[in-house]
Amino acid sequence: MLKSAIKISFATALTLFVISCNGEIENNTDDNAVRLIPVETVTVERGDFEDYIRLTGTVEAMNDAIISSESSGRILSISDRGQRVRQGEVIAEMDDRILRSQYEAARTGFNLANDTYNRLEALYADSIISTQDYESAKAQRDQAKAQLDLTEKQLQDSKIEAPFDGRVEDRMIRTGELINPGQPVVRLVNTNSVRILAGIPERYSGEITEGSEVTAHFRGIDGEAFTSEVTYAGNVIDPDTRTFTVEIELSNQGEVIKPDMVVDIQVKRSTLDNVIVIPRTAIVRDEEGVSVFRSREENGRKIAELVDVRTGPASGPLIQVVDGLSEGDEVVVMGMRTLSVGDELNVLQNESSLERAERLRERDRPVVSF
C-alpha cells in the first residue's frame, strides 16, 4: 500500500513539473496522448490594409549656403556665429576707401564723357563735325559708363549681404583679415523649411511618385512626428544602389529638425480594400512553403491543423493573406514554438484580426500623425 501511494505521488509531481516547465498538458490516460498547448489566436475578418515602404533618409535645409566674397579687401566687421540676419542685410563689410575713390573717379570720367558726347551729338546733327569724331565721342562715353558700372559693382561687393533670411552657423574669417574673391566668409542656414532625401528601390518606381503620402519620425526628436508627401521623385536610377531619389519637404517653424539628422520614413504604396490581414508571427515558413496553424473543432475541442497559404504585401508586423484562409477561421498567432499538428489548443486570448492589427500598428508605429 505504501509503495503504491509513493508511486501515485511521484506521478502527480512529475505531471505538475511538466506543466509548469513546458506550459503543456499531456493526457496520458491512453496510448493516443494529446498535448494541450497554450496559444493566442485571432478570428479572421476582412478589412483595409495600407501598404508602406519603410526607409531611412537624411535631412538638409532648404536654404543652406556658403557665402563667399566677390572682391578683395580687409574685413572691418562680420556677423557673429548664431546671429540671425534678414535677406539683404549686411553680414560682412570690407574696407572700401580705395574702391570708393575709384568709383568717384569713374563717375567723374563718365560725366565728362557724357557731356562731351551730348555736345558733339548736336554738332553732328548739324553736320558740323565728322562721323568719326561723333563715333569716337560715343565710344568714350560707353567706355566710361562701363568703367563706372564696374567700380559701382565692386563697391557694392565690399558689403557682403545675406541672399536669404537665415542664421550664421559658421564664420570662415575674422575681423581684420585680408580676403580675395571667391574666398568663403560665412555659412548661412535657414531651417524654417527642410527637405528629407531618401532612396527608393527601383522595383517601386511605378508606385512611388510625387504626391505619395509620407510619415516621418526623427530619431533625435522623441515623440515628434510629421506627415507630408513626396515633393520630388527622380527619374534616374543610381547604378550603384539601384535606387531613385525622392525629396519630402517639411515645415520646421520650431526649428527642432536639424540638417543631417537621420529620419525613419514610411512611404505609402497603396491601400488594399476588403482583404485578409494577420500578424506576421502567425506565418510558418519551411522548405515546402508558407503555412499557418488553424484551429478546427473536434469533439468539442480545438485541434491545431497546418494549412498552406499564399501571402501578399507585408507592412511592419502585418501581412496580407491572399489565399488559404477565409473569414471566421481561427488562426494561431502566438505559441507556435512548441505547437504541432494534432495538439489541442488552450486559447488564452482571442480577438478579431482587425483588432489585433490595429493594436500592432499602434505598438509598432514609429510616428504619430498630427
Measure the CA–CA gap between 152 and 166, rounded to whole angstroms: 27
**Local structure of residue 328 (DSSP, 8 states):** T
E strand residue ranges, 219-343: 225-233, 243-251, 262-279, 284-286, 289-298, 301-308, 310-315, 318-323, 330-334
Q: Is the whole-model pTM more than 0.85?
A: no
Mean pLDDT, the chain, rounded, equals 86
Residue with cell 581684420: 176
Residue with cell 550603384: 240
Q: For the chain, give me the number of helices (H) and strands (E)?
A: 4, 21
Cα dist. 208→186, 193, 313 in Å?
38, 23, 15
pLDDT at 272: 82
Measure the CA–CA gap between 361 and 355, rounded to whole angstroms: 10
Measure the CA–CA gap between 25 and 348, rounded to whole angstroms: 14
Give one DSSP letter per residue of 38-64, joined into a string.
EEEEEE--EEEEEEEEEEEEEEEEEEE
pLDDT at 224: 66
Measure the CA–CA gap between 310 and 319, rounded to whole angstroms: 11
Residue 301 in this model has a pLDDT that exceeds 50: yes
Measure the CA–CA gap between 336 and 88, rounded to whole angstroms: 68
pLDDT at 270: 80
pLDDT at 12: 39
Name the residue among 191, 173, 181 with its Cα closest to residue 79: 173
pLDDT at 223: 61
Q: What is the maximal distance between C-alpha atoms in the chain?
A: 152
Give the lowest-confidence range in 12-26, 113-127, 136-150, 175-189. Answer: 12-26
* Number of residues in the chain: 370
Name the residue among 85, 81, 78 with its Cα closest to residue 165: 85
Q: Are 72 and 367 in contact (CB under 8 A)?
A: no
pLDDT tens, position by position, 223-273: 667 889 999 999 999 999 999 999 999 998 888 899 999 999 989 888 888
Residue 295 in this model has a pLDDT that exceeds 60: yes
pLDDT tens, position by position, 135-172: 999 999 999 999 999 999 999 999 999 999 999 999 99
Cα dist. 30→26, 34, 300 in Å?
11, 9, 19
Percentage of the residues of the chain whose pLDDT score is greater than 70: 88
Through-space distance between the first and last CA atoms of the chain, rounded to whole angstroms = 75
Residue with cell 532648404: 62
pLDDT at 271: 81
Q: How confident is the model at residue 56 (pLDDT cuts 50, 70, 90)?
A: very high
Q: Rg (Cα) of the chain, in Å, rounded? A: 39
Q: How confident is the model at residue 124 (pLDDT cuts 50, 70, 90)?
A: confident
Name the residue among 167, 172, 227 with its Cα closest to residue 366: 227
Q: What domains sit in the chain, N to C, each tagged with a CATH number?
A: 24-50+273-364 (2.40.420.20), 53-62+191-271 (2.40.30.170), 64-186 (2.40.50.100)
